[in-house]
């Protein structure tokens, strides 16, 4: 919609303003004219060829929200009006020829949506569904002269549907609150001018400006300025984060009090906001086993109860000379009670609410199947760096070889890691002037380090395995910490010791997992000494060090064969992606984590907090518990009332309570997840 070319930009913008919103009039004190053009002192936001203005997406979202609110209000008005009509017809005495048409009118008013859906599904050869059951049962009640009961069935069914819609809306809002971070506009520096464009139009490497009070539209690195940013939309963290020159910021962060200039690192399609939106939008496509079971159950259950109703209606009158009207009424009552609404509605809603509750805590679950799998996790495997530790390394000691100064060794290591995004490489590049460094080739060797060519020299930076791989003569150190050996043209240059700190909640994460009876294993490519030190601090008894990515997969494979229950893996780097993919449940750190890890993971922790793992397991277990409660409640109550209907004890009114009442109770039970 609203496609345009650049020469029609202003016409396009005015059209969007007139038809959808005022947001294209970027203004402080101005007003829009009746023609839809911006008045003096305003500036139209430009839109590039064949694209939608940034605000149109937002205005359509607002329009969608308004339409949903109008729909809910419309449904509520119909329910109230129908209830009043039913009360008037039931308690006031009208002539029969006048009363019957009013009953028909009220029935069609409150039940038209059910009847239309039943006809629509019937045309598609889908007979056995709740709409069919409701339509047949209420039509039968009308045929038997039970007009008020037939209308009451439809009325209370619509009340249940109204509560369901509100419940779904509430669940969605808990996710939308996380998703309400899509930036509308990016202010880009182009040819010395600031131009407002859609974030989709900004290329990698361009410079954007983010003012106080604006959302960061794209992922990037701060070139100038400092500020506090609110990351709650992405991470769930309420405390602001201080950022300065050189720090990375993610799309969706809210700039609180400073002016920032940011160099764009990713296109909008690859940005954090875009990925989160995709994760949440696709989450419900992956159904949990319980949801799949209910879908299959409903397919077999419905025809069975229809056949049972036919037997109830026909058998006693045909073979035992019973009254037709009595047994037809019992059969119709049986059909109403048998509607599987509570199951079909509350179970998917339960998992949706669970995903919403997790998202409020900064935990993005990619589907109900992964949420249910969490309830069976018995062991968690942790990567160390960036997962249990901050991944914020600092150079603590430098040991150059004879003839090499500390400054030369640090500069050489920084050049070797120039293109690396690994936390160790970032620590080496800190406070080094690398603006004029131009490398000709670089290779990142997974689990070893980097091999870089600079000014004709081969530079190796990595662990002892890298030195051994390229036959570099060196003396292996037994110092505690992350050890980076440096070689130039096959000659050993020295050792740099880099230290990492534990995350603040790492110990809490282990304690909470122990409370849930979930065991832990730490896997790391670091030395045995470093691994032992970290494991001791965290009270992790099982750990493995000096691992390559394939070694982590092998250890996981062995555990999967031996362990009872499911095994989860938590990581953040590119080298963790294979293990994350192979684990029963894969976690990725959403802030520090690499794109590969986030794409592969089943669950993304936007807070980067390992303690969120125990929190996610608790949410999953509570979700499953409430879903099971709803299944037991629905089936138990229906079984009792179906028997009562067969023996004529339950009337149409009790049928309504059994069907709609149980549905409402199940929905209210599910909503406890969002509290």
pLDDT in tens, 78-92: 888 888 888 888 777
Q: Say what the pTM is.
A: 0.62
- Tokens at 435, concatenated: 């603006």
Tokens coding 402 = 């004879």
pLDDT in tens, 405-463: 999 999 899 888 887 767 677 778 776 777 666 788 888 887 788 999 988 899 999 98
pLDDT for 467 equals: 94
Mean pLDDT score, 515-539: 89
- Give the whole-angstrom CA distance, residue 131 versus residue 21: 39
Residues 441 and 489 in one domain: yes
If you write DSSP's letter for every residue of 207-271 in order, what string do you get? Answer: EEEE-TTPBP-S-EEEEE--EEEE-HHHH---S-EEE-TT-EE-TTPEE-SS-EEEEE-S-GGGS
Domain with residue 541: its CATH number is: 3.40.50.1000
Contact indicator for 398, 410 with CB cutoff of 8 Å: yes
Q: Are residues 368 and 405 in the same domain?
A: no
Residue in 383, 505, 526, 659 annotated catalytic: 383
| Most confident among 264-278, 415-429, 474-488, 612-626 (mean pLDDT) | 612-626
Question: Do 434 and 379 share a structural domain?
Answer: no
- Work out the pLDDT band at 30, boundaries 50, 70, 90: very low
Question: Are 428 and 565 in the same domain?
Answer: no
- Identify whether 171 is part of a domain: no
Sheet with 254-255: strands ordered across: 241-243, 227-230, 254-255
Same domain, 512 and 597: yes
Task: State residue 16's pLDDT score.
Answer: 34
Boundary-marking domain end, from 484, 499, 514 = 499
Of 469, 499, 529, the position where a domain reaches its end is 499
Same domain (yes/no): 378, 398: no
For the question of residue 383 being annotated catalytic, the response is yes
The confidence score (pLDDT) of residue 166 equals 67
Tally of domains within the chain: 2
pLDDT at 490 over 90: yes
In a domain, 608, yes or no: yes
What's residue 113's pLDDT?
Answer: 87
Q: Is residue 610 one of the residues assigned to a domain?
A: yes
- Report if residue 64 sits inside a domain: no
- Say if 37 falls within a structural domain: no
Among 499, 532, 561, give the residue marking a domain's end. Answer: 499
pLDDT digits (tens, 9 = 90+) for 368-382: 888 999 999 999 999
What is the pairing mode between strands 449-454 and 457-462? antiparallel
Say if CB 61 and CB 181 are below 8 A apart.
no
Name the band, by pLDDT with cuts 50, 70 and 90, for residue 404.
Answer: very high
Look at 113-127, 395-409, 508-522, 606-620 and tell me which has the smallest mean pLDDT.
113-127
Inform me whether the pLDDT recorded for 591 exceeds 80.
no
pLDDT of amino acid 241: 77
Q: Is the pLDDT of residue 282 over 80?
A: no
Task: Over range 121-125, report the average pLDDT.
Answer: 83
Same domain, 528 and 448: no
Establish how many alpha carbons lie within 13 A of residue 322's alpha carbon, considering only the half-sphere containing its beta carbon.
Answer: 18
Q: Are residues 257 and 210 in contact, defined by beta-carbon separation less than 8 angstroms?
A: no
Lowest mean pLDDT among 222-236, 320-334, 503-517, 546-560: 222-236
Beta pairing class for 254-255 and 260-264: unpaired
**pLDDT at site 577:** 76
550 and 417 within one domain: no
Q: Dump the DSSP string for 104-145.
A: HHHHHHHHHHHHHHHHHHHHTT--SSHHHHHHHHHHHHHHTT
State whether 398 and 521 are in the same domain: no
What pLDDT was estimated at residue 283?
47
Containing structural domain, residue 602: 363-389+503-621
Instruction: Centre a 10 Å sphere on the Cβ of residue 279 and count the other Cβ atoms it contains.
Output: 21
Residue 170 lies in a domain: no
Q: Do 492 and 587 belong together in one domain?
A: no
Domain at 490, CATH number: 3.40.1110.10
For residue 307, tell me if it sits in a domain: no
Distance CA 264, CA 606 (A): 20
Domain identity same for 468 and 409: yes
In a domain, 140, yes or no: no
DSSP annotation of 438 reads -
Count Cα neighbours of 386 within 13 Å in the Cβ-side half-sphere.
Answer: 23
Average pLDDT over residues 159-176: 61
pLDDT band, residue 474 (cuts 50/70/90): very high
């Amino acid at each position: 919609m609203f496609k345009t070319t650049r020469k029609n930009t202003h016409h396009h913008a005015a059209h969007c303003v007139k038809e959808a919103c005022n947001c294209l009039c970027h203004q402080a004190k101005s007003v829009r004219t009746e023609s839809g053009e911006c008045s003096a002192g305003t500036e139209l936001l430009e839109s590039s060829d064949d694209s939608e203005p940034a605000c149109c997406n937002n205005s359509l979202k607002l329009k969608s929200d308004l339409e949903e609110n109008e729909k809910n209000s419309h449904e509520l008005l119909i329910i109230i009006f129908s209830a009043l009509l039913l009360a008037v017809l039931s308690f006031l005495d009208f002539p029969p020829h006048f009363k019957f048409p009013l009953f028909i009118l009220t029935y069609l008013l409150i039940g038209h949506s059910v009847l239309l859906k039943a006809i629509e599904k019937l045309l598609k050869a889908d007979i056995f569904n709740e709409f069919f059951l409701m339509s047949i049962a209420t039509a039968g009640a009308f045929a038997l002269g039970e007009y008020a009961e037939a209308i009451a069935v439809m009325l209370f069914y619509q009340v249940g549907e109204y509560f369901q819609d509100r419940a779904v809306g509430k669940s969605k809002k808990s996710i939308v609150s996380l998703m309400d971070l899509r930036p509308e506009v990016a202010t880009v520096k182009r040819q010395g001018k600031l131009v407002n464009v859609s974030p989709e139009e900004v290329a990698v490497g361009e410079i954007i400006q983010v003012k106080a009070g604006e959302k960061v539209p794209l992922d990037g690195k701060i070139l100038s300025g400092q500020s506090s940013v609110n990351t709650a939309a992405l991470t769930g963290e309420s405390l602001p984060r201080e950022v300065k020159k050189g720090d990375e910021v993610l799309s969706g962060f809210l700039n609180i009090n400073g002016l920032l200039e940011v160099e764009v690192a990713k296109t909008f399609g690859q940005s954090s906001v875009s990925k989160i939106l995709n994760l949440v939008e696709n989450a419900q496509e992956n159904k949990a086993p319980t949801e799949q079971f209910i879908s299959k159950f409903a397919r077999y259950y419905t025809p069975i109860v229809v056949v049972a109703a036919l037997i109830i209606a026909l058998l006693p009158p045909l073979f035992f000379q019973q009254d037709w009207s009595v047994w037809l009424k019992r059969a119709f009552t049986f059909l109403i009670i048998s509607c599987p609404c509570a199951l079909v509605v509350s179970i998917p809603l339960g998992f949706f609410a669970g995903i919403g509750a997790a998202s409020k805590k900064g935990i993005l679950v990619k589907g109900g199947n992964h949420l249910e799998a969490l309830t069976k996790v018995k062991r968690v495997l942790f990567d160390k760096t960036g997962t249990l530790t901050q991944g914020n390394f600092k150079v603590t000691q430098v040991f150059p070889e004879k003839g090499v100064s500390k400054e030369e060794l640090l500069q050489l290591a920084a050049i070797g890691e120039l293109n690396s995004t690994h936390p160790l490489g970032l620590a080496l590049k800190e406070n080094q002037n690398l603006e004029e460094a131009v490398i000709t080739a670089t290779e990142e060797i997974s689990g070893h380090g980097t091999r870089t060519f600079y000014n004709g020299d081969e530079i190796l930076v990595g662990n002892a395995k890298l030195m051994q791989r390229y036959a570099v003569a060196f003396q292996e150190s037994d110092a505690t910490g992350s050890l980076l050996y440096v070689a130039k043209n096959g000659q050993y240059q020295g050792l740099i010791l880099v230290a990492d700190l534990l995350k603040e909640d790492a110990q809490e994460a282990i304690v909470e997992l122990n409370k849930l009876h979930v065991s832990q294993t730490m896997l790391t490519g670091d030395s045995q000494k470093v691994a032992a030190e970290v494991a001791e601090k965290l009270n992790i008894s099982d750990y493995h060090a000096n691992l390559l990515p394939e070694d982590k997969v092998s250890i996981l494979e062995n555990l999967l064969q031996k362990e009872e229950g499911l095994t989860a893996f938590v990581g953040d780097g590119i080298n963790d992606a294979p293990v994350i993919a192979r684990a029963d449940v894969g976690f990725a750190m959403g802030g520090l984590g690499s794109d590969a890890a986030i794409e592969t993971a089943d669950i993304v922790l936007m807070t980067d907090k390992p303690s969120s793992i125990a929190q996610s397991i608790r949410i999953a277990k509570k979700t499953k518990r409430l879903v099971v409660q709803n299944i037991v409640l629905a089936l138990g109550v229906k079984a009792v009332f179906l028997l009562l209907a067969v023996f004529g004890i339950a009337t149409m009114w009790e049928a309504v309570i059994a069907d709609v009442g149980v549905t409402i109770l199940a929905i209210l039970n599910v909503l406890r997840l969002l509290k």
